[in-house]
Amino acid sequence: MIPWQEELLYKLENPQIIQYDDLGSVGEGIATEDAVHADKVSIVKDSWNPEIVESYAPIAIKIEPGTTVTWINDDTVVHTVTEQEPESFDSGFIQAGADWQHTFDNSGEYNYCTLHPWMKGAVLVN
């Protein structure tokens, strides 16, 4: 066996478990005072990594009722966009390079997250 193959097998057979203090939890919103007017949100490259602080660009947006928002997965792994409570929208899996849209008809604040609990965003509709 070639040395790099042996090293890879060793890593796969003996994975390193990384502990993180707090990856976020449902119910925790995000700061919305800096929300920007936009109808497109990028799921940023490498946002699967808990060390990436801002997983969406922009993190918080402001829109008018009836606006359709598009999320674009600019990462290399699958993501979802799911409202935290009461879960009025859920994108299902958004593949790398794909996008998903949702129309917001009602006023309110919609906090959303993904498969990765440290990834949080908000849509303010008014």
Q: What is the pLDDT of residue 22?
A: 52
CA distance to 40, 52, 61, 72, per residue, from 99 (Å): 10, 21, 17, 4
Q: What is the pLDDT of residue 118?
A: 82
Please determine, for residue 24, whether its predicted confidence score (pLDDT) is greater than 60. no
Give pLDDT tens digits for 71-121.
999 999 999 999 977 768 999 999 999 999 999 999 999 999 877 778 899
| Cβ-proximal residues to 34 (8 Å cutoff; 6+ apart), any chain | 60
Q: What is the pLDDT of residue 9?
A: 76
Q: What are the backbone angles phi and psi of residue 108, rounded to the nearest 5°?
A: 150, 180
Q: What is the pLDDT of residue 87?
A: 67
